[in-house]
């Protein structure tokens, strides 16, 4: 594992196949060491190859012994080029699931299309299964509407007024200035079409039409709110408008599945390092500071720990599911703790190029960023606070 990654504009241009596989094995081993009680039996994950979606699949399969069906769009290796990280994640997951005698089926294709929905539903029906948990975890900026054929491109922009500030350049580990002009109405519309709840609803309708929804069905889509600090570029921007549409869609789905005693939820998750969050201006700097504070308090969580808590402390407790006044599940509670945010703001107001390594956990951020692509993978356990909080030098070649 000595291949060095190349990073440009906070995007990693390489992937390490062996590292991707090893990380999946690490996560599976961690979940197998936990105790689980009653939970889902047949789980469909839309976007199950990376991040929260992959973590939810690992918890479902290796925690609850559920059959899992995943939909993702990943590139396989071709010639001398590696495939995408999610391609190797999925292959390793399926291999380990088969070794444990678990039903694991992975569909690779356009989750937005009617054709793939038909294929997935047909397969599940042919195996006489009914889905009792649907996880919706798509992260993309492009979607072709299956009804109109129009290609929509989402954008990350503020609304009403321009925003300027600082973010981190991961290739240099320095601060850099950014400025963003406000979105127009078409930007807002397109972002909602891609990142809102329209496709989530279409998946539930497809399951409903094919009589594949089990009694007491649950479905969860993931969202983020974050602190007031990031509102101008996130919650009050085009992304936030799309997430508001996602929350509204939960109500539409609740009406659709009421006769199955079903329930739809939006789960508001903690800020974590993902391919998507790394390219949102301001957010990498915020996360690096947040990691410093939360690790110092012993309450840091990555994707797998977040999903473990979602399942064991929210969805499958045997009690009524805990939600906020808007009906949302909140597992961002530790992030938005008042004392945590006060400490984050103190650091934010004092940060500069001279103290960024000392005042933030930028090296921990970079390590997580590399892990996503299969680099810098050790044998750590995801809840080993000492190991995850350690500081180590990470060498990143400049582009």
DSSP string for 326-362:
TS-EE--TTTT-HHHHHHHHHHHTT--TTTHHHHS-H
Is residue 124 a contact partner of residue 71, using CB atoms and an 8 Å limit? no
Which phi and psi angles does 223 have, rounded to 5°?
-145, 180
Is residue 306 a contact partner of residue 270, using CB atoms and an 8 Å limit? yes
DSSP string for 132-178:
EEEEE----SEEE-TTT--EEE-----SSS-EEEEEEETTTTEEEEE
Task: Please identify every residue annotated as catalytic.
Answer: 234
User: How far apart, in whole angstroms, are the C-alpha atoms of residue 153 and residue 266?
Assistant: 23
User: How far apart, in whole angstroms, are the C-alpha atoms of residue 20 and residue 103?
Assistant: 21
| 275-279: long-range pairs with CB below 8 Å, 24+ | 275/11, 275/12, 275/50, 275/51, 275/139, 275/372, 276/139, 278/10, 278/11, 278/170, 278/369, 279/9, 279/10, 279/11, 279/156
Both tokens assigned to 363: 């090296």
Both tokens assigned to 149: 């054929």
Contacts of 275 (CB under 8 A, 6+ apart): 11, 12, 50, 51, 139, 372
- For residue 44, the cross-strand partners are 69, 134
Nearest-10 Cα torsion for 219, 374, 306, 297: -170
* SS3 of residue 369 by DSSP: helix
CA 27 to chain centre: 15
């Amino acid at each position: 594992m000595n291949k060095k990654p190349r990073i440009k504009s906070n995007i990693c241009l390489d992937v390490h196949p062996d590292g991707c596989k090893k990380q999946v094995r690490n996560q599976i081993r961690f979940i197998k060491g936990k105790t689980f009680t009653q939970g889902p039996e047949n789980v469909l994950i839309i976007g199950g190859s990376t991040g929260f979606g992959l973590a939810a699949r690992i918890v479902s399969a290796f925690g609850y012994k559920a059959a899992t069906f995943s939909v993702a769009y990943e590139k396989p290796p071709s010639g001398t080029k590696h495939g995408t990280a999610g391609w190797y994640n999925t292959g390793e997951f399926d291999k380990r699931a088969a070794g444990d005698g678990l039903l694991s089926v992975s569909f690779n294709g356009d989750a937005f299309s009617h054709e793939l929905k038909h294929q997935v539903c047909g397969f599940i029906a042919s195996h006489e299964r009914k889905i009792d948990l649907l996880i919706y975890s798509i992260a993309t900026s492009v979607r072709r509407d299956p009804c109109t054929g129009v290609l929509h491109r989402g954008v990350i922009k503020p609304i009403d007024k321009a925003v300027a500030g600082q973010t981190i350049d991961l290739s240099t580990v320095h601060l850099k200035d950014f400025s963003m002009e406000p979105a127009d109405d078409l930007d807002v519309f397109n972002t909602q079409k891609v990142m809102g709840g329209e496709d989530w609803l279409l998946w539930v309708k497809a399951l409903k039409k094919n009589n594949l929804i089990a009694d007491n069905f649950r479905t969860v889509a993931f969202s983020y709110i974050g602190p007031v600090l990031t509102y101008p570029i996130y919650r009050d921007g085009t992304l936030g408008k799309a997430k508001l549409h996602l929350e509204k869609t939960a109500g539409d789905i609740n009406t659709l599945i009421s006769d199955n005693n079903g329930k739809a939820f939006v789960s508001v998750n903690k800020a974590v390092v993902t391919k998507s969050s790394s390219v949102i201006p301001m957010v990498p700097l915020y996360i690096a500071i947040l990691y410093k504070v939360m690790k110092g308090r012993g309450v840091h969580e990555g994707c797998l720990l977040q999903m473990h808590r979602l399942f064991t402390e929210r969805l499958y407790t045997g009690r009524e599911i805990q939600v906020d006044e808007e009906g949302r599940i909140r597992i961002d509670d530790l992030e938005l703790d008042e004392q945590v945010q006060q400490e984050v703001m103190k650091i934010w107001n004092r940060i500069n190029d001279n103290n960024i390594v000392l005042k933030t956990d930028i090296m921990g951020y970079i390590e997580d960023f590399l892990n996503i692509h299969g680099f810098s993978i050790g044998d750590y356990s995801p809840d080993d606070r000492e190991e995850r909080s350690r500081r180590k030098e990470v060498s990143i070649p400049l582009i």
